[in-house]
Every structure is written in C-alpha cells, then in structure tokens.
Amino acid sequence: MGKVIVVTSGKGGVGKTTSSAALGAALAQNGEKVVVVDFDVGLRNLDLVMGAERRVVYDLVNVIQGEAKLTQALIRDKRVETLYLLPASQTRDKDNLTPEGVEKVIAALKNAFDWVICDSPAGIERGATLAMRHADVAIVVTNPEVSSVRDSDRIIGLLDSKTLKAENGERIEKHLLLTRYDAVRAERGDMLKVDDVLEILSIPLLGIIPESMDVLRASNVGAPVTLADGRSAPALAYFEATRRLKGEDLPVTVPGDKRSFLGKIFGRKAA
C-alpha cells in the first residue's frame, strides 16, 4: 500500500506545483514508484513543470467520469522510469471532481504506487478539500510572509478537521515546507524568520527551499528542479526534504547561516 501525500497551501503561488514535481522526482530517482496527481482542475500546471504537456491525452476528470481507464491517463516520465503523472483537465472545472470518484482513483493509485503525491489547488475550496481528504501525510507549503503563514494556519485547521484521518479520530501527519526563503531579506526584516514561522504554525519542518533562479529555469525547460540540476541549492534542499519524508532524522540547515562579510555590510546598508 502506498503513502498518499497532499501538497497544499492557503495562498496561491507559493510553490506547491514546483514542490510536488521536485519531491516526486527525487523519490522516484531512488527507484520507488511515484505518481504525481494534479488536482488543480481548470488551471493545470504540473504537466508543464514536468515537461509532459504535449503528451496529455486523458486526464483526472476523464478517469473520474469513466471516459478513460486509469492506465490510459497515466503519463510515464521520459527521464525517470518509475515517475508517473496524472494530469488535470484544463477545460473542465473542479465541480467534475466527485468525492466517490476521487476516492476510487486514490484507492487504485495506492495499490499500484509507493507514493501518491497530490498537488492541491490553493485555498479552502472544494478542490483543495477533496485533494486532502484521503491523505496520510500533508506537506504545507509556505512562503516566509505573514499572509502566506496565516493562510497556512487556516489550512492546517482544515487538515485537522476535514480529512478522513481526522474524522476517524486520528491525526494527519503534517510537515512544513518553507519555500522561496531569502536569508538576506529575512535578516533585514523584510521576511519572516524561520523561527517565527515555526512558532506561529507549530508543525515540524520538512525543509527550507532557498529562493533561487534555478527553480524558474527548471520549470521553464519543463523539468522538476531535482532533475534539471541535481547540484543546485534548491535541488539539494528538496533531496534533504525527501529523506526526512522517508523518516530520516536530519537536521535542517537554515540557508545563509554562514554569511559572508560582504553580505553583512549590504544587509545592514539596506536596512
């Protein structure tokens, strides 16, 4: 039985899709069978980030409505053999997702894969609650800014009340993934510091992904950042996050802890 992970956030544009693709690719590179499911029906993007946009024939809605078999809709990644994508529909809207349909698809995927990563739409609407409903583990993606943190807090509240695990009286495992972290700006006070975010949200930290041009570059060439350049700073951070996700006890290093003398001067000047 595979593990179902939902990648979620309150606010849009924080890096859910990037993180879903990067974590999925990192897990699959170790030979584990991974499927990344795009739940953002109507606004699909995961196929772009994974470089499969021209290979989409059937999508999640087709499978749920019984117009296609699951095996027809799954797209195998060209670079990593064990990585699959289940794309979202661009033309239909989220009302086509039925709770029963989602349940059936997730159950089937759980049987066939080691990891099922659900890329959730942002917010607290139907699409987001359906994506989180069957999850065993939730990854809450947050930027170090107050609006993002508050919306994440709201989402954590929903994870504790609207998931199957919560309804059965269990606690869903939750992790925080802090993305687009810029050490210089955090030091300057333009961004929240890691400790502040952790203190407000009080869930365990899965990783800190530094703000980097490599992420943008990777998504523009259609490759998860962990595949595009495995030695870039964000890729390394995602690899570490993956190891923690698998249960390894790894200390989290805050980017920019050891800053250069020059950086300190600039940091102060701008403040």
Partner 1 sequence: MTDVLTQPRPIRLKGRSFLALALTPELPFADWLRRLDDLAARSAGFFLRRPVVLDVEGLDIDRAELRELVDQLNARNVRVMGIEGARSSLLGPDMPPAMTDGRPAGDIEAPEGEPAAPAQAARPVADPAPVAAVPVPTTPSLVVSRPVRSGQSIFFPEGDVTIIGSVASGAEIVAGGSIHVYGPLRGRAMAGSTGNAAARIFCRKLEAELIAIDGFYKTADDMEPELRGKPGQVWLEGETIKAATLG
Cα 255 to chain centroid, rounded: 20
Pick from 160, 182, 214, 229 the residue near partner 1 by CB under 8 A. Answer: 160
Report, in Å, the least distance between residue 11 CB and partner 1: 12
Per CB under 8 A, 157 contacts partner 1: yes
Per CB under 8 A, 189 contacts partner 1: no
Report, in Å, the least distance between residue 140 CB and partner 1: 11
Q: Which of residues 137-156 bind partner 1 (CB under 8 A)?
A: 150-151, 153-154, 156
Cβ-based nearer residue to partner 1, 91 or 147: 147
Pick from 56, 200, 252, 254 the residue near partner 1 by CB under 8 A. Answer: 200
Q: Which of residues 82-141 bind partner 1 (CB under 8 A)?
A: 124
Q: 45-75: buried (b, 16+ CB within 10 Å) or exposed (e) per residue? A: bbbebbbbbeebebbbbbbbeeebebeebbb
Q: Considering CB under 8 A, how many residues would be counted as binding partner 1?
A: 11
Cβ-based nearer residue to partner 1, 6 or 46: 6
256 is in an annotated binding site: no
Phi-psi region at 60: left, alpha or beta (left = phi > 0; alpha = psi -120 to 50): alpha
Per CB under 8 A, 38 contacts partner 1: no
Cβ-based nearer residue to partner 1, 160 or 229: 160
Which residues, in sequence order, are CB contacts of 267 under 8 Å at separation 6+? 184, 187, 188, 259
Query: Side by side, which strands form the sheet with 137-142?
Result: 75-76, 83-86, 34-38, 115-119, 3-8, 137-142, 173-181, 205-210
Per CB under 8 A, 69 contacts partner 1: no
17 is in an annotated binding site: yes
Q: Are 8 and 127 in contact (CB under 8 A)?
A: no
Measured distance CA(9)–CA(229) in Å, rounded: 26
Per CB under 8 A, 202 contacts partner 1: yes
Instruction: Mark the segment that binds partner 1 (CB under 8 A) among 46-54, 198-206, 238-246, 255-263.
Output: 198-206
163 is in an annotated binding site: no
Which residues, in sequence order, are CB contacts of 163 under 8 Å at separation 6+? 132, 133, 134, 135, 138, 172
* φ, ψ of residue 219 in degrees (nearest 5): -70, -30
Where is the binding site for ATP, in residues?
Answer: 11-18
Note the residues at the interface with partner 1 (CB under 8 A).
124, 150-151, 153-154, 156-157, 160, 199-200, 202
